[in-house]
Amino acid sequence: MTEASEAAQADRTLKARHRAMWALGDYPSVASHVIPELGSVLVQECGVRRGDRVLDIAAGSGNAAIPAALAGADVVASDLTPELLEIGRHLAAVRGTHLEWREADAEALPFADGEFDTVMSCVGIMFAPHHRPAAEEMLRVCRAGGTIGLINWTPQGFVGQLFATMKPYAPPPPPGAQPPPLWGEEEHVHELLGDAVTDVDARRQTVRVEAFAKPTAFREFFKACYGPTIAVYRHVADDPDRVAALDGDLDALAAEHTADGVMEWEYLLLTAHRRG
Summarised one tens digit per residue, pLDDT across range 226-244 is 999 999 999 999 999 999 9
Residue 238: how many other CB atoms lie within 10 Å: 8
Q: Which pLDDT does position 176 carry in this prediction?
A: 86
SS3 at position 155? coil
**Confidence check: pLDDT of 1 > 70:** no
Contact by Cβ (8 Å): 132, 193? no
Q: For residue 23, which phi and psi values (nearest 5 degrees)?
A: -85, -10
Cβ neighbors of 14 (< 8 A, separation 6 or more) are: 129, 174, 177
| Domain range list for the chain | 3-209+263-274
> Where do the H-state alpha helices sit in 35-143?
38-46, 65-70, 82-94, 131-140
Find out whether 63 and 32 touch, Cβ atoms under 8 Å: yes
pLDDT in tens, 120-148: 999 999 999 999 999 999 999 999 999 99
Mean pLDDT of the chain: 96
Question: Contact 116/142 with Cβ under 8 angstroms?
Answer: yes
User: What is the torsion angle, in degrees rounded to the nearest 10, for the CA atoms of residue 230, residue 232, residue 238 and residue 239?
Assistant: -120
Q: Which CATH number fits domain 3-209+263-274: 3.40.50.1860, 3.40.50.150, 3.40.50.1980, 3.40.50.1820?
A: 3.40.50.150
pTM exceeds 0.75: yes
CB atoms within 10 A of CB 160: 22
Question: How sure is the predictor about 12, in pLDDT bands with cuts at 50, 70 and 90?
Answer: confident
Output the pLDDT for position 119: 99
Q: How confident is the model at residue 4 (pLDDT cuts 50, 70, 90)?
A: low
| DSSP label of 34 | I
Stated as kind and residue range, the H or E segment containing 28 is: helix 27-29
Judge contact between 124 and 88, C-beta under 8 A: no
